[in-house]
Amino acid sequence: MKDHEIIPSFAGQEHVSLTVGHAPARVVAIAHEYGYALDDYLMTVRPVRYRMRFVRDDSEEARRRAAWADYHYRASGAWWASCWPTPPPASGVSPDDAAAYRIAVHQQRHHPWRQLLLAFGVLMSLTLIGAWALAKVSAPAAVLLPLVAAGLGGWLMTWSRRKARAALPAHVARLEQFERQRVHPSDERPEGR
């Protein structure tokens, strides 16, 4: 979806649900600038689809952010003008990068085990298929294969979870940096918003 197709979805409704085939970070970036918070995020395969649900953020900061994004979009088509000033800061965080961090933080806080359990399930399914095929050749190897795979999979899940939990403060810091680089021409909302 193009920006001009996404933006009308965030016209003030309490809840918004979107499904896209690619670039979910772009949708999350636009939603954030238009005053919406990510409520649920799910990726499906075959075909690859990203289902997202957003909830309107009624805080004063979100309303101001939405008013400026709408003002810039109507004036120049650049909804990102307040959060990604021209020229962009050298060490700045782009709206799409911030949205990717926002998705990662959401997943870590709300669904920390979803992807890990899915990967573990796929690994164990393939292992059991391999053990069934191996049983005709060597029964002891067929018994050991699932045990070794379960142990290795459990260790990888624990390691991955620790690594993701350790990255969470860095992701939150990048989101805070993104909000600090925001520039509004005035502290008020644009005229008539």
Q: For tokens 């294969």, what's the residue?
A: 145
At residue 53, φ and ψ (nearest 5 deg) are -125, 135
Q: Which residues of 173-193 are buried (b: 16+ CB within 10 A; e: fewer)?
A: ebbeebeebeebeeeebbeee
**Ramachandran assignment for 16, one of left (phi > 0), alpha (psi -120 to 50 degrees), beta (any other):** beta
Measured between alpha carbons, how far is 47 from 67 in angstroms, rounded to an integer? 36
Which residues on neighbouring strands pair with residue 53, listed in sequence order? 17, 40
Q: What pLDDT, on a 0 to 100 scale, did the predictor assign at position 13?
A: 92
pLDDT given at position 186: 67
What pLDDT does 174 receive? 94
* Domain residue ranges in the chain: 3-180
Q: Rounded to an integer, what distance in angstroms lies between the CA atom of residue 53 and that of residue 49?
A: 13
- Structure tokens, 110: 């709300």
97-112 pLDDT per residue, tens: 999 999 999 988 888 7
Whole-number pLDDT of residue 37: 95
Residues in the chain: 193
pLDDT tens, N- to C-terminus, the chain (193 residues): 789 999 999 988 999 999 999 989 999 999 999 999 999 998 888 888 999 999 999 999 999 999 999 999 999 989 998 888 777 778 889 999 999 999 999 988 888 777 788 888 888 999 999 999 888 888 898 899 999 999 988 898 888 888 888 999 999 999 999 998 888 766 666 665 5
44: enclosing H helix or E strand: strand 36-44
Specify the pLDDT at position 71: 92
The pTM assigned to this predicted structure is: 0.78
